[in-house]
Amino acid sequence: MRKFFGFLFKGLDGLRKVLHLLLLLVIFGFVVGAMSGSIPKLPQDAALVIQPEGEIVEQPTGDPLELAIAEARGLGRGETTLRDITDAIQAARDDKRIKTLVLDFDAMTGAGQPTLDEFARAISDFRKSGKKVVAYATGYSRDSYYVAAHADEIYLDPMGAVILEGYERYRNYYKSALDKLGVDVNVFRVGSYKSAVEPYIRDDMSPEDREASQTFVNSLWDTYLTAVGKARGMEPAALRTYVDTLTPVVKAAKGDTGKVALDAKLVTALKTPLEVEKRIEALSSKDDESDSYVSVSLKDYLRVVRAEDKISRHPDARVAVLIGSGEIVDGGGGGGVIAGDDMAELIREARLDKDIKALVLRIDSPGGSVTASEKIHRELLAFKKTKRPIVVSMGDLAASGGYYIAAPADEIWASPATITGSIGIFGLFPTAPRTFDKLGIGVDGVGTTPLSGELRIDRPIGPAAGTLLQSVIERGYEDFLARVAVGRGKTRDQVDAVAQGRVWTGRDAKRLGLVDGLGSLDEAIAAAAKRAKLTEGKYELDYREPKKSFAQELLANFKVWGAGVMIRASGVDPATLAFAQGVRRDFGPVEREVARFNRMAVADRLYAHCFCTPY
C-alpha cells in the first residue's frame, strides 16, 4: 500500500510539473504574440496619417504612469519618436501606395525647435514628390504650427486658434525655502555663467544668467519667425506683429480667433473635421466601409516598410547611428537617460564591428555626470584611433556634458536653434547644522586629520574640505577645456573665452567655432559617409541602442499594464486623468529639480550640467 501511494504521489507530482511547464509555455506564447504582432497589409491610394502623440522625443522615456494615463485617455503611448516620423515620411515620398500625407496635431504636446525642424525638413522633402501635405488641428500651438507651416494646406477648426507664445526661461529658486529648513548648499564651480546651481543659492536669476538666457531665447524666437515665415511665404516681421498684437486684434474681432488666424494668412481655411475628411478623400481615395478616406496609421505603415526594407537591403558597409537622449548618468539606465556604461558599450561594439565604416552620434542632452561623460569620451577616442570618422549631430540640447562627449568628433553639426556650450563644471554638498540646532541636537567630537568630520551633514563644511573640493572642480574645468581644445583644434585660452559655463545657440556656436555646420541629422550622416568614402545607396544605416533582455522588456510592459489596470479599476474618468496629468506636468520642474538635487548632492561627484531648456 505504501509503495502504491508512493508511485501515485510521484505520478501526480510529475503531472503537476508537466502542467506547470505547459502553462508557462502558453503564457510565453501569449506574451511573444502580443509583443510581435502581425504585419498589416497596406491599401492602395491611401493617405498616411501622422498624429504625433504627446511630446516628440529622440528616445522614449518609458515613464509607466505617463504612458498609462495617455493610453487611458485614448492617446496611445504618450510620446512619439522623431525617427519614427521621419522614417515614415521618407519612405512614403516614393511609395506609390501613398497619395497624401495627413498631419493631425490634436494629440501633440510639443518638442524642441531642432526636433521640429527635422520633422519640417522631412515634410518639405516629401512635397518634392508632388504629393500633397494636409495639416489639421483644433488649435495650433507654437510647436505644432512650426511643423504645420510647411504643409501645402493648413486647416483650423472654426472654433480654434493659432497661439504662438514665443520662448521663455523661468526657473524655481529655493534658497529661502532651504534657509527655512536650515539647509546650507555648499557650491563649488568654475565659470561665470555656470548657472546650474543658482536655484539652490539664490532667490532670483543672476545678471550673468539673465544676460545669457535673454540672448538665447531671443535667438530661438528669431530663428522660429524666420523658419515659419519662409515656409508660409511671409515676412518674419508680419508674423511678429501677429503675435505682439494678438490680444487687441482678437478683442476687436469679438473673440473670433479662427477668423483672426485666417485673416493673417496663417491657415488655408477654417474647416470642421468632416470637411477636412472630404478634402483628403478627394486627394487620395474613398473608404466605403468607413465613409471616409482610405488611410494607414504611422504605426502600421512603419511595420510594413521596415519589414520590406530588411528584406531588400543587405550591404556590407554600414554607418552606425547612436542616439543619446537625456541626462548623462553613471552606470546602466532605463529610458530617458544616457547611461555611461551603456553608451560606452555601444561605441565599443561599433568599434569592433569591421562592417561599421563611420559613427554618427546624435546628442540631445543637458549633460550630467562628468565620470560618465569621460567614460563615453574615452570610447569615442578609441573608435577614432581606428581611422574611421565620427560625426556628431546635435538635437535640441547638447550642452555641458553633452558638449563634453561631442568634442572628439571629426565634425559637429547642429541646428541653428540647438542649445549648446555651457562648458563648465560644478559640484554641490548640502549641510544642515542649523536644522540640528533648531531641533536642539548638538554635535561635538574629535578627529585625526584636517578632513575628519568636515563632510558631515550636521556640521558646516570645513575650510580644508572646501579648498579640496574647489581644487578638484578647477581641475575638472581645466580637463574639460583640454578635451574641447584638442577636439576642436584650439588653444586652451580660445576655448576658455567662449566657455565659462555660457550657453549658445547653434547659430552662435557655428560663428564661435564650437560646431562645424548647421543642418539636420541626415546631413550629418551624409558628412560621415563622405568622410568614409561611401557611395550613396551603397551603405545602410545601423541604428543601435542598448539591448534589453526579455525580462527587462516584459517588466517594462508589465509596469505600463499594471498602472493602466490600477487607473481603470479606480473608475477615474479620462477628464480627471487629464487634469491630474496636467497638474503633474506643472509641478514637473520641481519634481525634476528635487531628483537632480538628490543625484548631485554627493561630495565626490563632479557635474557638467546645463539647466537651459527653454519653454
Catalytic residues: 194, 400
Under 8 Å between Cβ of 257 and 267? no
| DSSP codes joined into one string, 403-442 | HHTTTT-SEEEE-TT-EEE---EEEEEEE-HHHHHHTT--
Helices 370-384 and 463-488, interaxial angle, to 10°?
30
Cα(105)–Cα(533) distance, integer angstroms: 40
Rg from Cα positions in the chain? 28
Handedness of CA 592, 594, 600, 602 (dihedral sign): negative
Residue showing cell 502581425: 38
What cell numbers appear for 292 in the block? Answer: 471616409
Strand partners, 46: 98
Cα(290)–Cα(518) distance, integer angstroms: 45
Phi and psi at residue 225, in whole multiples of 5°? -60, -40
What cell numbers appear for 191 in the block? Answer: 565659470
What is the bridge-based pairing of β-strands 318-325 and 540-544?
parallel
Cα(172)–Cα(204) distance, integer angstroms: 8
Burial status of residue 66 (CB atoms within 10 A of its CB: 0-12, 13-18, 19 or more): buried
DSSP state of 549: P
CB atoms near residue 291 (< 10 Å): 9
Report the side by side order of strands in the sheet with 295-297.
269-270, 153-156, 132-137, 98-104, 46-50, 295-297
- Residue 137's H or E segment, with its range, is strand 132-137
Alpha helices in 101-183, H assignment, sequence order:
113-127, 142-148, 175-181
Phi and psi at residue 54, in whole multiples of 5°? 70, -140
Q: How far is CA 74 from CA 83, 295, 489, in A?
A: 23, 19, 52
Query: Going by C-beta distance under 8 Å and a sequence separation of 6 or more, which residues neighbour residue 74?
Result: 574
Under 8 Å between Cβ of 31 and 550? no
Cα(462)–Cα(455) distance, integer angstroms: 7
CB atoms near residue 563 (< 10 Å): 19
Q: How far is CA 493 from CA 176, 346, 500, in A?
A: 37, 33, 11
Cα(442)–Cα(444) distance, integer angstroms: 7
